[in-house]
Amino acid sequence: MPKTIEEKHHVRWLGQGSKTIVFSHGFASDQQTWKWVTPAFEDDYQLLLFDFVGSGQSDYSAYDFKQYSTLDGYAEDVITILDHYELNDVIFVGHSVSGMIGAIVAKERPDLIDQLFMIGASPRYINEPPHYTGGFEEHEIEQLLTMMQTNFVGWASYIAPVALPPSEGRAQSSQLEEKFKDNDPAITHNFLKITLLGDYRNVLADVTCDTIILQCSDDSFVPIEVGHYLRDHISNSRLHILSAKGHYPHMSHPNETAGAIKQYLTT
């Protein structure tokens, strides 16, 4: 029996208000990573949270490797969710890969997103000197993918403190490691592969909504040059540098992250 949208994506609603904020999680995590941030918005906004298929409490049986061979498959799911609830002009807050998924949605359906927040997002992770710095050489990404395939638990233990340094929050870093370990290895590998090897720079010129790029001051995965690149290639955008370090500021520094979002919110 086909699952409902609510069951497929474990959709949850919080808060109250006439304007909707959609919080979209990043790679190998789920909607629970927003729990430190959402209380700051519940009094004034309606909040929509969901899990991508293959993450969190979503319906794993709905995962299709062909559909999710590019980020477009995930963008299609976002469009389906927003259309299902007859939402438009939402505020879309996307962490990491979800920032680019939000950009794809904004390009394909400009009516759906009024304002886009991209937290630690990157359109391209591979360096292409001298014109583009993505942060990685292709062989480094291949090594990371191979490590994940051969020792998934070891990969999770290695990558979590890089993504969220214990110095930024030891408890949160440990929670992130456990969350990584709970993921399905094959699905997680596919998601990481299309994220790190993809090139979505051609999307940026067609993003016309108000866009806020939130960039950590020191991100092991997304160098500061990427934040500047996004600002320079999305016409209606602003770049805000957070003092937080790592790749998960909404977990390690939720007050700063929520404050930065509030600073730019259109009412």
Active centre residues (catalytic): 96, 219, 247
Q: Where are the beta strands (DSSP E) in the chain?
A: 12-15, 20-24, 46-49, 90-95, 113-119, 210-218, 237-245
Cβ atoms of residues 81 and 105 within 8 Å: no
Helix (H, G, I), strand (E, B) or coil at 25: coil
Query: Helix H segments across 93-169?
Result: 97-108, 138-150, 152-163
CA distance to 6, 34, 79, 171, per residue, from 85 (Å):
11, 21, 10, 36
Tokens of 207: 């993003």
- The CA distance from 101 to 9, in Å, is 16
Pairwise CA distance, residues 176 & 256, whole Å: 19
